[in-house]
């Protein structure tokens, strides 16, 4: 999702007591199941769909709080499976540091922490990063910090979800191929592959290898690309970035509607359908697919409620993408001129509530140790 480099923060609505819904971990005091560390999040049983969200943790995406989680769940009328947030590796805050406090806060709220590993030294967009290049990861420049990150992740002793390099096929982020080799095939690796994509692939593999070596086997790894490649050229195709099925557990997609009034209005199904065959072919073995970011603004015709309703209908029985999509994670945030939050209008929040009320949407995570 393209964002302004200077964010306008939106005040969270006050904490609203959420009652009548069972916590996703089964009870207020029972911890998430992780009696052994080698554990992965599985798709929900019975062709169900995880209901999840970025529940508005602020413009920098890392102001994690129970208040934000409970506020979103109160609006939605249903608990979330995971709470999605960014681990920004800013030099002024220590660089590559595991977000232990944020992870613990989400876990204590009875939700699964989903960490976006964001290798950026600042929030500038549309250019290379002054610190974190993919080649530096490959060369081991950050190995000591990454080992400590992995050790801290392991010490949590409960399930974590993680991704590196959000929306990699979008040139708004510095880990995109445009800033790491672009269309060259002679500067790195195989002469048959574009250097920029190959560098990202190998950097991601290197990070996962370090986590495995340090015993952080409580992490489920996601590969996250945008529904559209920008620019749409051979050296920026989503499959070229993919680390491979031996490394990745889930395929994640961002699929947004209109983010600025006046843009061409397209419904969720059309946006995704144009790229669906290619998305499904990313993983040779058919890893589960999650919509990690989705949402839209109200346009002049106030179509947001219908857009939300159509999106949710497209993934339930009878819909275009059922039973292929296994999770829907809404991006609940406003920033300058862009109002994605589900409570942007009474009609929008009602559409969301009615959609996720369907029993196909579930909140409890299913893990590879056979427990919920």
Tens digits of residue pLDDT in 160-207: 999 999 999 999 999 999 999 999 999 999 999 999 999 999 999 999
Q: How many CB atoms lie within 10 A of CB 354?
A: 14
Selected residue with higher pLDDT from 293 and 23: 293
| Structural domains in the chain, sorted by start | 41-367 (3.20.20.80)
Report the C-alpha gap between 167 and 210 in whole angstroms: 22
In the prediction, which pLDDT does 136 show?
Answer: 98
Taking 50 as the threshold, does the pLDDT of residue 27 lie above it? no
In the prediction, which pLDDT does 259 show?
Answer: 77
- Residue 336: pLDDT band (50, 70, 90) is confident
Which of 37-51, 189-203, 287-301, 319-333 shows the lowest mean pLDDT across its residues? Answer: 287-301
Q: How many CB atoms lie within 10 A of CB 244?
A: 13
Cβ contacts of residue 302 below 8 Å, gap of 6+? 345, 347
Which of 99-108, 208-217, 311-320, 332-341 shows the lowest mean pLDDT across its residues? Answer: 332-341
Q: Give the tokens for residue 131.
A: 């610190």
- pTM of the full structure: 0.90
Left (φ > 0), alpha (ψ -120 to 50) or beta: where does 87 sit?
A: beta
Cβ contacts of residue 26 below 8 Å, gap of 6+? 364, 372
Length of the chain: 372
Q: Alpha carbon of 67 to those of 60, 109, 270, 292: distances in Å? A: 17, 10, 35, 21
- Residue-by-residue DSSP string for 32-90: PS-SSS---EEPPGGG-EEEEEE----TTS----HHHHHHHHHHHTS--SEEEEEEE--
Q: Give the tokens for residue 299.
A: 């346009």
Q: Give the tokens for residue 15.
A: 């904490």
């Amino acid at each position: 999702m393209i964002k302004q480099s200077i964010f306008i923060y939106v005040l969270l609505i006050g904490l609203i007591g959420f009652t009548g819904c069972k916590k996703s971990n089964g009870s207020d005091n029972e911890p998430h199941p992780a009696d052994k560390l080698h554990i992965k999040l599985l798709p929900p049983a019975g062709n169900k769909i995880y209901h999840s969200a970025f529940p508005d943790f602020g413009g920098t995406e890392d102001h994690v709080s129970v208040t934000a989680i409970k506020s979103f769940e109160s609006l939605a009328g249903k608990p979330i499976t995971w709470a999605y947030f960014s681990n920004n590796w800013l030099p002024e805050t220590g660089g590559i540091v595991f977000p232990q406090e944020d992870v613990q806060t989400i876990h204590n709220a009875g939700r699964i922490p989903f960490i976006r590993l964001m290798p950026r030294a600042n929030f500038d967009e549309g250019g290379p990063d002054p610190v974190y290049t993919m080649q530096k990861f490959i060369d081991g420049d950050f190995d000591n910090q990454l080992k400590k990150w992995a050790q801290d992740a392991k010490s949590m002793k409960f399930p974590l979800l993680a991704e590196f390099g959000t929306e990699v096929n979008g040139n708004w982020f510095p880990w995109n191929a445009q800033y790491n080799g672009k269309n060259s095939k002679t500067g790195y690796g195989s002469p048959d592959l574009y250097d920029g994509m190959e560098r990202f692939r190998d950097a991601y593999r290197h990070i996962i290898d370090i986590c495995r070596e340090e015993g952080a086997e409580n992490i489920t790894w996601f590969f996250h690309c945008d529904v559209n490649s920008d620019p749409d050229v051979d050296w920026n195709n989503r499959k070229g970035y993919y680390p491979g099925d031996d490394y990745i557990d889930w395929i994640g997609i961002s699929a947004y509607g209109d983010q600025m009034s006046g843009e061409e209005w397209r419904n969720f199904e059309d946006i995704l359908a144009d790229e669906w065959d290619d998305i499904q072919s990313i993983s040779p073995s058919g890893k589960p697919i999650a919509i990690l970011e989705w949402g839209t603004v109200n346009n002049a015709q106030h179509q947001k409620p219908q857009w939300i309703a159509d999106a949710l209908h497209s993934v339930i029985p009878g819909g275009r993408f059922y039973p292929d999509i296994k999770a829907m994670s809404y991006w609940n945030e406003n920033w300058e001129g862009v109002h994605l939050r589900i409570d942007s209008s009474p009609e929008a929040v009602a559409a969301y509530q009615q959609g996720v009320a369907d029993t196909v949407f579930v909140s409890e995570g299913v893990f590879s140790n056979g427990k919920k």
